[in-house]
Structure 1
């Protein structure tokens, strides 16, 4: 089924003009979507009317962004600046900097803190009421991915390390782990029920992990292969990075997006795939379920993982209306 024929999804107009690194909905609104991209912009879309509402710029590619509330976005990227944008006044503030590219930006609503993680192997916490870093915390390696689960922060770094922090007490690491996947960590996302997280790698695998160190709980963890396909002619298996994960907040099921251009929906507790959407134009670089779970934002961007130089599909953000049939455990 092509996009134009499909009545359950549409492309956003005025998409970013270079690789889309991150798409995120607000905490409570399923109407507005943020997109950070290599074209140096952060864009705010109103998906209800398919319109680019506003955008602001960094000095170089933007690698992540997050809503603090309905009026403020935070973002960071290769210019090493943590930027706040006020959508009402149009005013930009530079809250501070990292000593390397800023890879991750997250907002923790439970404790009203913004967290940034960078390639300088450093996590910084920011108080939005007085935009200044309220703490800086060294990590063992470059930060590739992180996610917040209530008051818990899970950080994935180079060297396949995973660190679990308590945002209320950053004086020590709660847990130090090694990824159970053999290859480089690409993405981490926490379960909405706060019991654990899902981690993906560049080698077409996903692991389902639990926080509770009790042996009977740890016995439940497992890993599975995905985003692979066999070439019928040669019998060679092509393996793709799993770049993005997003959870359905009610069913605890999750979507994965890979460089094979596919989005799969999984039931992690019952260890099965619920469905696979049609193939998108190129790699899936980011995914986000809306807070009401009615929509899945899908960023399709060529990630330069192959030597293809001609006919590179244009970057696009697709909004798909998802159904219970696709997302509810069977």
Structure 2
């Protein structure tokens, strides 16, 4: 079994990748999508969204990083994929799953699931252009408005040269509303000869067990589930071995949060860094009441130095919360 960390624009950036892969249990991760329209992007664009390229395309924990591209022009995507490879990308991933309206309006992401022939042309051209030793993979949803073309799309991707598919088990129209239709992952795996990963609505070990039963696949990609529970990959890996991992609750998460804030302060403009911290706290609140309490305290704070002070006085204060809630 392999467990991957999903690419989520505006959430799983280099800082989040570093922190989450540092916890362990993640076999590989993916950049936020790099938008390709009608030109060859400068190297700086790749390095901005994939700074790990400077360290062998791995996070500090050693987790391999894939570079994800999004667009609809086969030749332009192929040229940019070749550049990413020259910069050190070990795998090129293609995004056919993004549900964002602005992305879809410009013919990117999930809207391309209406055109299996175009999917085939994109993957074929990228596969033809990048070095043979570098895998090309793809991420897809079950369709745009419906699942009518789901299997055609999967076949198109695999037959054109995608060596692996990640299937987010919902259509674009379904967005992120539960449930994820994991049974469709099984249908996709039946019609392609490449490994298929299940993605969507895996928030717990129990969800993973149901997903494995319905999808029939071993490999998974975790997104919001891992962001809201940083040791979920470790819990699932332990369950796969027949073991139970006993996490240390908020005591384990608080140091991650402080490290996240330290890096955000160093790498993100002060006007945006507080929002990123609060964004993660909101996600963590799903599993940790202490995160909800901290979010409430910081909710209206926009000054980084004030947030520094609030986080620094409390290692004791938030530690007490941890003792009360863990």
Structure 1 or 2: more strand by fraction: 1
> What TM-score do you get using the length of structure 2 for normalisation?
0.31
> Rg: which structure is higher?
2
> What TM-score do you get using the length of structure 1 for normalisation?
0.31
Structure 1 or 2: more helix by fraction: 2
